[in-house]
């Protein structure tokens, strides 16, 4: 039998894919990636694709980046894994110092982040933040020990483990597990395109925050922390918040004595045009979760950063049992840390953030014309995170029915044209590696535009 066909058969037989209806998958011919170089992925048949979603939002400097490859080879020559339970290692130390140097900081409380707790994916980084916030209050005076709940936003996405699913608010992913989840206090996120208050920005003066504040006022005594995706609710469909929203959330958290947990898993490492989304509004969170771009998209690694004050609440005699009882087998993995250090080196050496600004503008200009298209409801962009919401009826902002799978069809068209994308429902997501050239960025825009038109203007058969 043909070798390629044999790989396809084995792939279908042995692997259960994430977020995938396997019945459908089993009927399809899978694309099997064998190689990557820069922003290009090559499959088993030699067909080349532009990696338009950075291999699910992780890749920053392209595949097979020389600086990161070399750093990994050097590290493999020393050691690939050793544990942080009872031991330390050089890459984990060096990376922690570097992360704290670039982490958001400012004059306003809490000042700065001073400690790094490692884990290995975004979901765990968020769960670590939640457990730390919870225990922080348990280690306080009796009155504060009532602070056990978390305030979360509708439509939020913080990962797929049960703790992070508890914080999530995307019905399709999260409802099925309801009986297994802990209770949270839900608040409405900003939603300018379909404002529930029927107001428009900026004349609204961000009135949607009033509800959040009312909720804080009511629940402050029982709330340990608020979890937020700063600037953009990514998995919800790249839904962006209006300017100063984050800054005001920070102020409210401080006023009501609620820890602010920033989930920068998607937004971190240059995605929004700054190193971290919090920087856009001069915000320092009390806890910050990072993962996806941390290793430049090379290896699974995550971290939860926090303040001295929170860390100090866990100090005591062993017998007081204030220890943070949490850890993972691969915590502080030296290879992952070496990749992350190399990725930060690329940022510096290649002036990645400075060069990115021109690309962000180019992308913005390239998409601007589509606003007039009949089925383009809204184009949302912050830096290199783009969501293009397709609607059945523009005037009414009527959504396409989920079973029409409009986003999926658009991505299928893009794939035929050599661009890999993955939609979020009716929202087409563009999230290319930061290293993409203007030429490739132009191709990404052209192909996406053609694909949207091919699908939305297609006559129904």
Ligand X SMILES: *Cc1c(COP(=O)(O)O)cnc(C)c1O
Binding site for ligand X (CB under 6 A): 121-123, 126, 157-159, 229, 234-235, 263, 265-266, 291-292
Nearer to ligand X, 166 or 451 (CB): 166
Q: In whole angstroms, how close is the CB of 52 to ligand X at the nearest point?
A: 17
> Can you count the helices (H) and strands (E) in the chain?
15, 17
Report the DSSP beta bridge partners of residue 186. 152
Nearer to ligand X, 56 or 90 (CB): 56
Q: In whole angstroms, how close is the CB of 227 to ligand X at the nearest point?
A: 9
| DSSP alpha helix (H) spans, 383-437 | 406-416
Q: What is the DSSP string of 148-193?
A: -EEEEETT----SSHHHHHH---HHHHGGGGGGSPP-EEEPPP-ST
Whole-number Å distance between alpha carbons of 166 and 454: 39
Q: Tokens 């995938």 — which residue?
A: 20
Helix or strand or coil: residue 398?
Answer: strand
Helix or strand or coil: residue 427?
Answer: strand
Nearer to ligand X, 406 or 431 (CB): 431
Nearer to ligand X, 103 or 391 (CB): 103
Are the C-beta atoms of residues 156 and 229 closer than 8 Å to each other? yes
* Strand 149-153 with 115-119, pairing: unpaired
Nearer to ligand X, 38 or 268 (CB): 268
Q: In whole angstroms, how close is the CB of 104 to ligand X at the nearest point?
A: 16
Nearer to ligand X, 216 or 290 (CB): 290
Element (H, E) at 308: helix 308-312
Element (H, E) at 200: none
Q: In whole angstroms, how close is the CB of 249 to ligand X at the nearest point?
A: 16
Q: In whole angstroms, how close is the CB of 439 to ligand X at the nearest point?
A: 28
Whole-number Å distance between alpha carbons of 58 and 31: 19
Nearest-CB residue to ligand X? 122
Nearer to ligand X, 63 or 158 (CB): 158
Q: In whole angstroms, how close is the CB of 271 to ligand X at the nearest point?
A: 10
Q: In whole angstroms, how close is the CB of 199 to ligand X at the nearest point?
A: 27
Take residue 279 and report the two structure tokens written for it.
Answer: 């920087």
């Amino acid at each position: 039998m043909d070798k390629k066909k044999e790989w396809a058969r084995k792939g279908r037989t042995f692997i259960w894919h994430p977020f995938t209806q396997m019945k459908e998958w089993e009927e399809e011919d899978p694309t099997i990636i064998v190689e990557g170089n820069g922003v290009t992925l090559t499959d088993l048949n030699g067909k080349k694709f532009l990696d338009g979603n950075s291999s699910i939002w992780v890749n920053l400097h392209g595949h097979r980046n020389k600086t990161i490859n070399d750093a990994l080879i050097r590290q493999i020559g020393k050691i690939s894994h050793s544990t942080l339970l009872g031991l330390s290692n050089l890459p984990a130390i060096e990376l922690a110092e570097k992360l704290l140097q670039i982490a958001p900081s400012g004059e306003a409380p809490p000042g700065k982040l001073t400690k790094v707790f490692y884990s290995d994916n975004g979901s765990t980084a968020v769960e670590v933040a939640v457990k730390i916030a919870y225990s922080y209050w348990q280690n306080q005076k009796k009155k504060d020990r009532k602070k056990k709940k978390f305030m979360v936003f509708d439509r939020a996405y913080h990962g797929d483990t049960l703790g992070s699913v508890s914080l999530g608010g995307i019905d399709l992913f999260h409802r099925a597990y309801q009986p297994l989840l802990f209770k949270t206090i839900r608040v409405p996120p900003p939603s300018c395109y379909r404002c529930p208050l029927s107001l428009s920005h900026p004349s609204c003066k961000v009135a949607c925050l009033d509800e959040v504040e009312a909720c804080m006022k009511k629940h402050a005594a029982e709330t340990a922390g608020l979890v937020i995706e700063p600037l953009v609710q990514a998995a919800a469909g790249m839904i962006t918040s209006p300017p100063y929203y984050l800054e005001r959330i920070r102020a409210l958290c401080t006023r009501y004595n609620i820890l602010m947990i920033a989930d920068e898993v998607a937004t971190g490492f240059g995605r929004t045009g700054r190193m971290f989304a919090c920087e856009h509004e001069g915000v320092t969170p009390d806890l910050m979760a990072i993962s996806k771009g941390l290793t430049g998209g090379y290896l699974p690694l995550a971290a939860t950063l926090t303040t001295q004050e929170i860390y100090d609440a866990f100090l005591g005699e062993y017998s007081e049992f204030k220890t943070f009882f949490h850890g993972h087998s691969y915590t502080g993995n030296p290879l992952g840390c070496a990749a992350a250090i190399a990725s930060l080196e690329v940022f510096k050496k290649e002036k990645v953030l400075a060069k990115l600004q021109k690309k962000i503008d180019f992308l913005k200009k390239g998409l601007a014309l589509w606003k007039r298209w009949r089925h383009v409801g809204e184009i949302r962009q912050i830096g290199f995170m783009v969501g293009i919401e397709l609607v059945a009826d523009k005037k009414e902002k009527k959504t396409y029915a989920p079973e029409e799978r409009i986003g999926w069809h658009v991505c299928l068209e893009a794939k035929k044209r050599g661009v890999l994308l993955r939609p979020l429902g009716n929202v087409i997501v563009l999230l290319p590696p930061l290293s993409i050239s203007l030429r490739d960025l132009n191709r990404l825009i052209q192909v996406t535009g053609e694909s949207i038109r091919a699908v939305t203007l297609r006559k129904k058969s």
